Structure formats: C-alpha cells, structure tokens
Amino acid sequence: MKKYNVVTTISYPKKGAMGKTGSWRIFKPILDKAKCVKCLRCWIYCPEATIIRNKDDTVSIDYEYCKGCGICANVCKVKAITMEREVKKK
Amino acid sequence: MAIKDLPDTECVLPGSAACPGCPATMGLRIVFKALGKNTIMVVPACCTAVIESLHPHTSFDIPVMNIAFEAAAAGASGVEAALRQQGKEDTTVVAWAGDGGTYDIGIQALSGALERQTNFIYICYNNQIYSNTGIQRSGATPYGAWTTTTVGGKTEFRKEMGEIIQAHHIPYSAQTCVSYPEDLYNKLKKAKGIKGPKYIEIMAPCPPGWRFPMEKTVEMGTMAVETGAWALYEVENDKMTFNGKSKLILEKKIERKPIEEWIKYQGRFRHLFKPEKDVKRLKAIEEHTDQMWDRYRRCYL
Amino acid sequence: MTLMIDTGNYIAAKAAIMAKPDVVAAYPITPQTTLVEGIANYVKTGEFKGEYICVESEHSAMCACIGASAAGVRTFTGTSSHGLLLMHEMLHWAALARLPVVMCNINRVVGPGWNIWPDENDSISQRDTGWIQFYCSSNQEIFDTIIQAFKLAENEKVLLPVMISYNAFILSHTSMPVEIPDQKEIDDFLRKRKSKWKLDINNPITFGNIILPADYEKIRKDMQNSSENAKKLIPEIAKEWKKKFGRYHGDLIERYKCENAEYILLAMGAIGAESKVSIDNLRKEGLKVGLARVRTFRPFPKEDILKLGKQADLIVIDRNISVGSEGALFSEVKASLYDKSDTKVYGFIAGLGGKDVTYNDIEIICKKAIKGKVKDCEWYGLEGV
Ligand SMILES: Cc1ncc(C[n+]2csc(CCOP(=O)(O)OP(=O)(O)O)c2C)c(N)n1
Ligand code: SF4
Ligand code: SF4
Ligand code: SF4
Ligand SMILES: [Mg+2]
C-alpha cells in the first residue's frame, strides 16, 4: 500500500474502519456445527462478511465485527445458527 | 451458478459503518465477487458514502471515487475515458448509486452517459428512499409508503426506471434483488463481459428505512419479487427475459402474492392497516401492480 | 513557430490541444461555443488524440474532468456564464480533490435578461472555490496562459485547478495574430502530467469519504498554502516562458508605465488592455498615471498591490458587482492596503451587462479620480439615473 503525499480526503482500506463493530451486538449468532449442512447461505447473505467460509465449506463467525443482525440465523434452513442475548463483560 | 461456486473475493471489509442488516453491503459483496478487484467504483452521496467509513480509513478494498449526489454517471464517464487513454480497458468502471441519485437528481447525467455509450456498469441499489438524509421520499418510493416527507403516505406511484433505461436501447440492463445472490452475480458477470453502457438495478430492502426488523432483509426482497412489486428481468439488445419467479408470474404459471403480504411487515405502511384497514389504498396498490404486469405481458411476452 | 490569425476561442482550442490533454469534456454555450467546435475540428483532423466527451451539461463536463483527472490524466474544459455557474458545486470538488483541471471561462453576463456580452460576475462569483483565476487581455496571452496554466496546476507545490477567463466577443470572437510555438517546444516546456494521487487498482484508496473537522481544516489550510506557492510559481513560469518564447504578459499583475506614476489604475481583462491606450493619452497630457492590470484574481496579488499603494493613489475599475457590497477588485485592493498604507483608493463599476468601456471612458474615470470627486464606489456612465 503506497501512501500518497497529498493533503486531501484519501483513505486506505482497513478492516474495522469504524472500530470493532462486534460491540454493536445485542444478540449474538451461535453456530451449532453439528447441524450445519454447509449450504453457505449464511455466508453469502451476511451483510458484514463476518461469516467466514472455511476450506471445507464449514463456516465460522468473526465476532470481532459481527453486528448481530440475525440474518445468518434467519436464512439458515436447518436452524444451525441461533441468536442469543449478548452478555457483555462488565 | 450455485452459492458454493461464488468466489471468495471480498472488497467490503468487516467493521464498516453500515447499519446491521444493510442491503447495500449485502449487494456490494456479490457485486465484487462478480467483478473482481480490477474494478474502480464511483459513488455519489448516498448511504454507501457513509458505509465507506471515516477518513483516513475506508471499508472498501478497491479504488473508490466519491462524487457529488447527481454526478455518478458523469464522474464515471471521465474515469472510463482516462482509463482508455492509458490502455487500461480491462478495468471495469462501476457507478454505484442509490435510487435518489439515479431516479431523481442523477437521471440527467445517467441518461447522458448511456446515450454516449460509456463503457461502464451503472448500478442502482434501490432502497426506495433517501436513506442517507434520514428517510425522505424518492421517485422510487412506492405509493402509500410513509417517509419523513410523505407523512400520511406517498400519494404518487413510483416511476418505472427500468423502462426509462430501456428507451436508451443500451446493450444490457437488468433488475435483480439482494435476496437472489446467484441472479445478482450472473447479471453482473454478464454485464462485465459486454462493452458499452450497462444498467443494473438491485432491490435493496432497508430495515431502518422501511421499518422492519434487521434480520428480515432477505425475506423483504424475496417477498417483493413474489408479490410482483419488483420484477427480476434482463434486457439484452432490446430482448427482454424475465427470470425466476418473475418469469412464472409473467407467464401466469403462478399467481403473484398480494402486495399486502409484503407491506404488512413494514412499519412504513402501518397506517394502511391500523387503526383500520385502508381498503381503498390497498386496492389501488394491487390494481397498479396488476396494470404493471399487464403492460409487461403486452410488451414483452 | 508559426503565426496564426484567429479568434480568442480558436486560439484557446489550439493551445488546449497543444497541451495534449488526455480528456476534454465540454458543453456548448455562447460565447464559448467556437472553442468546443474548435476542439471538435482537431478531433476530426486527428491533431487531438485524446478523448473528447460531449457531455449533456457543464455540470457533467466538470464531473468528467474530475473523474479523468482522478484517474491520473490531463484534462481540459471550457465554459461561460451560466455554464460556469452550473459547475459551481464541482468547482469546489475539483479544488478540494487537488485535481489540476484547466478550464477557459469566457466572461459573459449572467441572466435573467439573456445577454451574451462581457461581464465578469460569472467568474468573480466563483472566487472562493479554490481555483486559480487568470484574466487575459489578448489572444496571445490566452494561448500563452493556457500552456502555462497546466504547468502551474500540475506542479506538486500547487495542485489547484486553473480557470483562464477572457471577455466575451472582445477576445473570444475577435481575430488577432498569435505566435504559436512548435509542438516540440511546447512538449519541452510542459512535460507529461505526473499525478500526485490517482485511482489505481494496485493501490485501492477511497477518495472523498467522510472526514472529521480537524482533518478537513488541514485540507483547507494546505490549499491556502498551495495558493501562496502559486504566487511564487506564476512569476517563475512566466519568466521561463519569456526565456523560451520571448513573450511576457506580466506575472500576477502586468505593470504599464507605473514608473513615477502618482496614480495607478487597476483593472482586469479587456478593460485592462483598453486602459493602455488611455494611459498613453493621459501621460501625453502630463498626468502621471500608470496601469497595473491584475492577471490573477486568485491568488490575489496582495503584496504587489501594497507596493503600488505605497507609491501612488489607486483607481480601480470593476466589471462586476458584489451586490450589497461593491466591486470585488475594489474591496480586495482596499483590504490589501488596510493598516499598511493610507493611500486613496477610488472605485468604479463600469461595463456591466457588456456595455462598452472605451479608452475615452477610462480617461474620464481617471480624471474624475484625480480630481478626487468620487463617492466611495461610483457607477460610471449609468444612464438615466
Ligand atoms: C446536491 C445535493 N443535494 C442534496 C444532498 C443531500 N443528500 C445526500 S444523500 C441524499 C439521498 C440519497 O438517497 P439515495 O440516492 O436513494 O441513496 P441512499 O441514501 O438511500 O443510500 C441526499 C438528499 C446532496 N448531498 N447533494
Ligand atoms: S446457513 Fe446454516 S447450514 Fe448453511 S452453512 Fe450456514 S450454518 Fe451451515
Ligand atoms: S449476525 Fe449478521 S453480521 Fe453477524 S454473522 Fe450473522 S449475518 Fe453476519
Ligand atoms: S439506512 Fe439502509 S441502506 Fe443505509 S446503511 Fe442503513 S441499512 Fe444500509
Ligand atoms: Mg435510496
């Protein structure tokens, strides 16, 4: 990544440009790997790209940035993902 | 193309400023899967300009140029011409604008760029409102919908942008929806392979704007298609083909579901159901939809 | 070198293509029309090899220039009056993006009351957009300034867009002989643009996203610093041009018979040129009057004007009016002197709506000022008032 030496609004790609958006969550998606049929619907619909597609097409969740929208749980036809109330560490 | 065949490419990085459940980032992910990283994107004022997040960082991993609200297509024309001068014709130039930036304030620049045969893909993500400024009506807002500027419900029907685009007789245009990632992917992929102006409009149900729970974005899109409020189609050199459920509705192989089934889940239409059902307006909505499909059948079947 | 006898617009078109822009995007408006037609002809003859985008509005013309410039190439456009006003939002955009777009503006009256004659209210009302503004007074100066403008705008110490204004018809449609250097000489003087930032798939930046006040303020400050740099560079580039081509139109201002002058007239554009005749006549009458033709309204030649003010009383003619205040040049001249000199400054508004301002008028104006019988800012020759 080359930095341009000019004073204008130039911005560089960064994961977490708005910080750790995982802190926005009220509900947390919990994946039951045993139930997952690797259909990848959660992966394709997640608006945040926080469903990680593994090599074997299993999925995992990037909790650092997952905003807890619940779309993954909603599109999973075998109910392998459930939304649970977030317990925030004090 | 099945979901598992879609590539891993990601150009929208996690941790952006988008609302949870955002249809714009949902759509953008698929767009970039189809177009790849050899893409430059031009973005006018709209939610996406915010989604990019705060300087000096950005959530986009491809070059993005922000431009004024009405200027996406004109800005893209300049980028495209410059790339051609530099022999970089393999780079795809995309304008990505909201319905406000497309139907309303940006329609002149868009029409001009299409007429000039600009080699680019213009994508309108249609959330049927001005979201960026806090939910005002646009030319794409449906009849009856509440917005902050149509407090009792919009009194006009939306315009039919697809048909305006078709009047330009460009090589490729299409309507799709975030709920159909394969359809969206295929249309983008096809557009990428065609020279000249391409227009793709993506139905993008917006949870805060339409007032539905954030986990329902996908259903809201599916229902828009199944009720016939939105049609999936593509137009290649003036030949129109309807896709998926829309094709079945067009050919009367299935009946479209009542629009009511779609809008009753959206808070922006609550006044049509409470305190009592507004039969008159609901009927007007259904009739208008039927007329649209009749026109489609007359023209394109 | 060749001699070309042609109108200001055709000369501007020639200069523009000799600067070899990669992209030109423009939209016609009287009296700029023959400029875009001129470029269209060069497309046909093959002398212009760049992209010529015939956009559907001036707003889109400026947007296309911004897009192209952001993608790293040299861009040019031209407009006038309502076209310039339609661009307003994008003028700010180009400057804040630090894109070295070069544009000609043919100064024309603003409607309503459609009127195509010269008047500088169009460009003066764009003065705060961050564009460098030149005002020319001959076709030769138009040619020379356009080439120099690219060099100035693209200099990494400047990186501000440049607007070259000249009066409707008086220059745009009047033929004059102009010396045209050979292409090779121009190429030597003006090298290919090296962009300081660009849209590049190998370096995926986002340009223009949301920004907080503290960072935004730095951008404004840098623009201001760059404009100050331009003040130093404009004379340097003008001198280099003189050395190479033997012609010199002044730097930020052009001084004419200012030595021992007790009164110095300040004016821009065509009135500036016409004033030379008046100065000659007034000198013949024994009046010690000189001329400082202001070539750049932005950056404003504050220091030069202070120097002039220390030497002589100043007479300012404005072909514009900032309604609710006074002539824009008059205001800025006074501001340049504030607290540093108690020179008298006499302000006149003349030639609005394209009304002719002859050397005779200018002589009358000067004599009025010399007699000291002038209101704060006087409207010269206003009929029926
Ligand atoms: C010339 C101009 N007028 C108004 C605005 C304010 N504005 C910014 S975005 C926007 C609405 C955008 O709506 P749309 O294009 O549908 O995108 P969305 O926000 O819904 O994503 C408005 C009105 C502006 N930026 N520029
Ligand atoms: S949607 Fe459900 S079944 Fe499909 S991959 Fe995700 S978790 Fe597994
Ligand atoms: S809850 Fe939403 S953001 Fe989190 S992984 Fe699921 S779909 Fe993605
Ligand atoms: S308002 Fe709607 S479109 Fe805009 S960021 Fe939020 S969810 Fe996305
Ligand atoms: Mg919108």
Report pLDDT digits (tens) over B158-201.
Answer: 999 999 999 999 999 999 999 999 999 999 999 999 999 999 99
Q: What is the pLDDT of residue C375?
A: 80
C-chain CB neighbours of B61 within 8 Å are 204
User: Cα distance from C219 to chain A (closest Cα, Å)?
Assistant: 6
Put simply, the answer to whether A9 touches C196 (Cβ < 8 Å) is no
CA–CA distance, C71 with B191 (Å, rounded to integer): 22
Rg (CA), chain A: 16
Chain C residue numbers with beta carbons less than 8 Å from the beta carbon of B82 are 22-23, 51, 67-73, 75
Could you tell me the distance, in angstroms and rounded to a whole number, from the CA of residue A80 to the centre of ligand 4? 27
> Would you say the CB of residue B58 lies under 6 angstroms from ligand 1?
no
User: Which protein residue's CA is at the shortest distance from atom 26 of ligand 1?
Assistant: B69
Answer yes or no: are the C-beta atoms of C75 and C65 closer than 8 Å.
yes
Q: Which residues of chain C have pLDDT under 70?
A: 385
Residue B138 one-letter amino acid: S
Reply yes or no on whether the pLDDT at A89 is more than 80: no
**Number of structural domains in chain A:** 1
- Please state which of the ranges A80-89, B33-42, C38-47 shows the lowest mean pLDDT: A80-89
pLDDT(A90) > 60: no
In 3D, which of C16, C178, C34 has the Cα closest to residue C106? C34
Q: How much distance in Å is there from the Cα of A78 to the middle of ligand 2?
A: 7
Chain A partners within 8 Å of B52 (Cβ) = 11, 17
Please give the CATH architecture assigned to the domain spanning C2-245. 3-Layer(aba) Sandwich (3.40)
Q: What is the dihedral of CA C205, C206, C208, C214, to 10 degrees?
A: -70
A75 interfacial to chain B (CB closer than 8 Å): yes
* pLDDT interval class at B141 (50, 70, 90): very high
Region of A3 please: left (phi>0), alpha (psi -120 to 50) or beta. beta
Residues 6+ apart with CB under 8 A from C382: none
Q: CB–CB of C197 and A6 under 8 A?
A: yes
pLDDT of residue B70: 98
Q: Which of the ligands is closest to the CA of residue B131? A: 1
- Yes or no: domain B3-300 corresponds to CATH 3.40.50.970: yes
Q: Do B216 and A74 touch (CB under 8 A)?
A: yes
Domain limits, chain C: 2-245, 253-379
Provide the pairing of β-strand A10-13 with C175-180.
unpaired
Contacts of C34 (CB under 8 A, 6+ apart): C7, C9, C10, C13, C172, C173
Q: Is the pLDDT of residue B261 over 60?
A: yes
If you average pLDDT over every residue of chain B, what do you get? 98
Q: Which ligand is nearest to the CA of B98?
A: 1
The ipTM is 0.97
Residue C384's pLDDT is what? 76
Each residue of A71-83: pLDDT tens digit?
999 999 999 999 9
**For residue B17, pLDDT beyond 60:** yes
Residue-wise pLDDT tens digits, A12-50: 999 999 999 999 999 999 999 999 999 999 999 999 999
> Which CATH code is given to the segment(s) C253-379?
3.40.50.920
Adjacent-strand bridge partners of B121: B94, B198
* Ligand 5 center from residue B126 Cα (angstroms): 6
Range(s) of the domain holding residue A41: 21-85
CA of A70, closest atom in ligand 3: 1
C-chain residues within 8 Å CB-CB of B112?
55-57, 60
Q: Is the peptide bond before C235 cis (omega within 30 degrees of 0)?
A: no
